[in-house]
């Protein structure tokens, strides 16, 4: 697994979302590298880890990240939040948890109204078979729907994807299965570690209400970025970086 290390100071591990790679965090790396040692992950099947055939499953991937990084704070965006949360719940070396536009459950059910309908991910899986590149582009467009900086953020997402090539189809299907089937709400009340939850006000994939509800279960603070979409660290990098800086510094 490719993990890019930059900066000095306390360790902060950054884990990206579905279909992309660690390069998406460039705005945060620029602002945080002077203060922390950043470990920017390319998940198996993505970016520079495209040829890594490790199954995209929570225990396997979390163990691999932990083996390659020092103790520190883990920060996950979107799908990456599931890996960060699982790591915080199972590994003592994860000393704090930051969730960016991520919740313990991404689909709606009878007890969780904060997410998308289950068939959304199933449809993306079917569409990948028929139109791989078109489906990727439609998902990137969903990432920015509602954001006040939607056009520029979509350009950034498309360019970031192109910079390291398309992800492996196998990894995309496994990622969709994680988004559709994972429910980590039960881990939150007993987490026992500091946490920070950052939502985008206009996020159409992970509603801010869901992030605030999950943060309450864990006893953590939650912040909503005004005007932000599903990738609030692109259009509002200064605000997100400031929140992360104060949180990681506070974790020691």
- Tokens standing for 69? 């990084």
The pLDDT, as a whole number, for residue 67 is 98
Confidence label for 206 from pLDDT (cuts 50, 70 and 90): very high
pLDDT at position 26 is 95
What separation in angstroms does the CA of 37 have from each of 10, 30, 103, 190, 245? Answer: 6, 12, 25, 28, 12
Residue 163 region, left (φ>0) first, then alpha (ψ -120 to 50), else beta? alpha
Q: Find the range with the poorest average confidence among 36-40, 138-142, 168-172, 214-218.
A: 138-142
Whole-number Å distance between alpha carbons of 103 and 210: 7
203 classed as catalytic: yes
Q: How confident is the model at residue 195 (pLDDT cuts 50, 70, 90)?
A: very high
Query: Looking at the predicted structure, is the pLDDT value of residue 252 above 80?
Result: no
pLDDT at 32 (0 to 100): 98
Instruction: Considering the candidates 52, 78, 86, 143, report the single residue annotated as catalytic.
Output: 78
Domain count, the chain: 1
Q: What is the mean pLDDT of residues 176-184?
A: 94
Of 31-45, 137-151, 160-174, 181-195, which range is least confident? 137-151
Band the pLDDT of 147: cuts 50, 70, 90. Answer: confident
Mean pLDDT of the region 28-55: 97
Q: Is 10:72 a contact under the CB 8 Å cutoff?
A: yes
Taking the C-alpha atoms of residue 199 and residue 218, their distance in angstroms, rounded to an integer, is 16
* The predicted structure's pLDDT at residue 129: 80
What average pLDDT does this structure show over 1-28?
96
Portion of the chain with pLDDT greater than 90, in percent: 79
Q: Per mean pLDDT, which of 11-20, 109-118, 135-144 is the most reliable?
A: 11-20
User: Among residues 203, 212, 220, 223, which one is catalytic?
Assistant: 203
Calpha distance 187→214 (Å, rounded): 10
78 as an active site residue: the answer is: yes
C-alpha span between 45 and 246 (Å, rounded): 32
Please tell me the distance from the alpha carbon of residue 13 to that of residue 64, in angstroms, as a whole number. 13
What tens digit of pLDDT does each residue of 227-242 get?
999 999 999 999 999 9
65: tokens are 């990240």
pLDDT per residue over 87-99, tens digit each? Answer: 999 999 999 999 9
Cα–Cα distance between 228 and 234 in angstroms, integer? 9
Instruction: Judge whether residue 137 has pLDDT over 80.
Output: yes
Average pLDDT over residues 146-154: 86
**In this structure, are residues 117 and 107 in contact, taking their beta carbons and an 8 Å threshold?**
yes
Q: Average pLDDT, whole number, for the chain? A: 94
Domain that holds residue 41: 3-250
Q: Is 152 known to be catalytic?
A: no
CATH number at residue 138: 3.40.50.1820
């Amino acid at each position: 697994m490719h993990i890019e290390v930059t900066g000095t100071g306390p360790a902060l591990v950054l884990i990206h979302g579905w279909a992309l790679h660690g390069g998406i965090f460039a705005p945060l790396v620029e602002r945080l590298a002077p203060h922390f040692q950043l470990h920017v992950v390319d998940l198996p099947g993505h970016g520079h880890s495209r040829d890594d055939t490790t199954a995209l499953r929570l225990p396997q991937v979390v163990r691999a990240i932990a083996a390659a990084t020092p103790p520190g704070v883990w920060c996950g965006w979107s799908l990456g939040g599931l890996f960060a949360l699982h790591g915080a719940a199972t590994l003592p070396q994860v000393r704090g948890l930051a969730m960016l536009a991520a919740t313990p459950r991404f689909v709606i059910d009878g007890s969780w109204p904060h997410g998308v309908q289950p068939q959304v991910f199933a449809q993306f899986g079917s569409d990948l078979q028929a139109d791989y590149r078109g489906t990727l582009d439609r998902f990137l467009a969903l990432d920015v729907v509602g954001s006040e900086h939607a056009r520029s953020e979509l350009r950034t997402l498309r360019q970031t994807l192109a910079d390291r090539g398309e992800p492996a189809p196998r990894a995309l299907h496994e990622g969709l299965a994680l988004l559709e089937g994972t429910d980590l709400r039960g881990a939150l009340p007993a987490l026992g570690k500091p946490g920070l939850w950052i939502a985008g006000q206009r996020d159409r994939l992970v509603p801010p209400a869901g992030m605030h509800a999950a943060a309450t279960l864990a006893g953590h603070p939650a912040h909503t970025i005004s005007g932000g979409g599903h990738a609030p660290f692109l259009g509002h990098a200064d605000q997100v970086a400031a929140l992360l800086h104060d949180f990681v510094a506070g974790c020691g």
